[in-house]
Every structure is written in C-alpha cells, then in structure tokens.
Copies of this chain bind each other. A is one copy, B any other.
Amino acid sequence: MSANHRPSGQPTTPSDALRESAFLKACRREPVPHTPVWFMRQAGRSLPEYRKVREGIPMLESCMRPDLVTEITLQPVRRHHVDAAVYFSDIVVPLKAIGVDLDIKPGVGPVVERPIRTRDDLAQLRDLTPDDVAYVTEAIGMLTGELGATPLIGFAGAPFTLASYLVEGGPSRNHEHTKALMYGDPQLWADLLDRLAEITSAFLKVQIEAGASAVQLFDSWVGALAPADYRRSVMPASRKVFEAVAGYGVPRIHFGVGTGELLGLMGEAGADVVGVDWRVPMDEAARRVGPGRALQGNLDPAVLFATPEAVAAKTDEVLAAAAGLEGHIFNLGHGVLPDTNPDALTRLVDHVHTRTSR
C-alpha cells in the first residue's frame, strides 16, 4: 500500500492518490505537478449556495449538523476546484462542546457568557472527549467518502486566540483583559493556556482519526503580541498541541494575521507549514522561517475586489516571490472576505494552476 512499494510513479489506489495529491506533496516539500491552492474561509458567505443552505440556521447549529457541514465543506471544492477542502466549523466549537456558555452572534462573533479571569473560572474548561463531538467524526466520515483524492484539512483555534475570546468575553480589538492577565498573573495564564492546549489537541485528534489529511492551527489574534511575549507566554502551549498530534504524520499548518515578527517562532513551535499574511513577501517569509518547512500564502484578500487584470498581476507577484520555496501552498493572506465575488476566486485557482503547471 505504501507509495514506496509501487512499481511505477503513478498512484494506484484512492489512498495513494490522496497521498500523492499536490497539496500533501507541497506540505511535504516534494515536487508538485502544480502549486496547490485553497482559501481560508473558502466555505462561507462569499458563496450564494452557502448563504442558501445556512438560511435561518444559526452558525453553531450548522457546525453540529453533519449533513450541513458536509455540504458546506464540499461547495467550494465543486465550484472553485481548489486542491483541498477545509472542514467547516468555528474555532469556538470545541469550547461549546465541553459546555462553555457561548454563542456566535451574527455581525459580532463569539460571545462568552462568563469570561474567564480568575482561577475559579478555569473550572469551566473540562477535558474534551470524542463523544462530545460525535458530529465531527460523522461529518468527516461522510466527507472523506465524497472527497476521494482531495485532502481534507481539519482545524482548531490555537490556545492564545481561544484564551482571548474566553478572557475578553468576545471579539476584542485590543485584547486588554487578555494581556492584563498574561502580564499580571503569569501562572494563571500558563494554566489557562495549558488547559486550552489539552482541549485543542483532543479536538484535532478526533478530526485526524476520523480522516483529516492535514490540520491547521489558527492563532488568529497572536499577531497582537511582540516576539518575546509570544515565546514566553504562548509558544509552550502551541508546541504542546503540535507535539500531541505529531505521531499521526499528517502535515501541521500554523497561521496567524500580522505575524511578520513571529514567523520563525511559529515554525519552531512545531509547524510543518507556516501560513503567511500578505504583509511579508514570501521570499522574506522563507528567510524568517528557515529551511525544513513549507509556506502557505499570501495574496491580500482585498486584492480580489480589484480588476481581473490587477488580481492576475498581484497573483504573479506572489508566485514570483514564492518561486524558490521548498514547498508552497497558494492561499490568501487571511480568510475570504464575505463580499468577495466567487468568480474571482474560481479564476484565481485556474490562474495559479495554469501558471505553475509543470
């Protein structure tokens, strides 16, 4: 069954074909037939078919219905011919699953009923078991059947970003309470992040055991920190998550926004692939991350609002900067913006495939 024992270089079984997909090859820094493409938040509000199936169904409910998750996850694969699917969920799903009283409010984001700011508040965070997220196992089982040789990326929010929601009680521009806790009570902070690392690890294991071919750890807000604070107060927990899933051998991607100063450390934390936002050119990002890791990125999602010619030109700039990389997965520098014209995304996938076909 292993790729090493095939007589020719061609995949012969579905699992071979999956293993030899452009996306997984790029993650492993092997030569690829074309640069693989997927988009963060590719399954979402930019698609009319998404808005249709979500109509009247609250976000958290839609994350818990395997039929809906499967349909929504497949939509962008069908429409855009991206090289990977990303599991449709939200980073607060595992917290909800262990009983944290939270909701996702439209136009606001996750709102937590009782923010975590004292040691007693930690009691809200019990262990996550596979039974807490049986709908995830079920949905991934359905998805891998449908996806065939297209890899499915599982994901979770990283401890810092989850902590920010829990401590602030919701989305925050400045993370005042989070940083007050981080700087003011380092031991409580470390214990909180360690709990979140356990929960996140358990959640990623469920996804991998159900069939996810790769995982992405989103540390959306960690770009709010300086490198010394990241190293001291965040990296140990993120590293714990990466180590917990190392044994499965699936590629581990790590991404955050505004993390130019942190790229090297985020790789060191244990990522096989480091995601880069659009502020740092890919060649400079490669210099910061160092050898031995693939990179993912980094077209500015706002570029997709410009003319098709401008999009093509900016895409070519990204490809040129990434030309010397050991492994490159094309993506946006952040999630697809809700008002993006989906046709611009379809064209973009085609453009990258055409330009990079070998």
Contacts and interface: CB of A to CB of B under 8 A. Distances in A.
A314 B229 CA distance: 10
Interface stretch (A23-31, A97-105, A275-283): A275-283
Interface in A312-339: 313-314, 317, 337, 339
A310 B184 contact: yes
A111 B313 CA distance: 32
Nearest to A177: B305
Interface stretch (A10-18, A146-154, A220-228): A220-228
Contact of A314 (B177, B183, B279, B317): B183
A141 interface: no
A225 to B, nearest CB: 7
Contacts of A223: 258, 279
A313 B302 CA distance: 39
B279 A310 contact: no
Interface residues of A, number: 37
B180 A302 contact: yes
A273 to B, nearest CB: 21
B179 A302 contact: yes
A36 interface: no
Interface in A174-223: 174-180, 182-184, 223
Interface string A287-325: 000000000000011110111001101100100000000
B226 A302 contact: no
B184 A337 contact: no
Contacts of A258: 223, 258, 279
Interface string A338-349: 010000000000
Interface string A72-91: 00000000000000000000
A286 B223 CA distance: 20
Contacts of A180: 302, 305-307
A71 interface: no
B302 A279 contact: no
Most buried by B among A223, A279, A313: A279
Given A258-B279, A261-B279, A179 B227 contact: no
Interface string A21-57: 0000000000000000000000000000000000000
A334 to B, nearest CB: 8
B281 A228 contact: yes
Nearest to A307: B184
B176 A226 contact: no
A264 interface: no
B280 A184 contact: no
Interface of A: 174-180, 182-184, 223-228, 258, 260-261, 278-281, 300-303, 305-307, 310-311, 313-314, 317, 337, 339
6 contacts: A174-B302, A182-B306, A183-B310, A183-B311, A184-B310, A260-B260
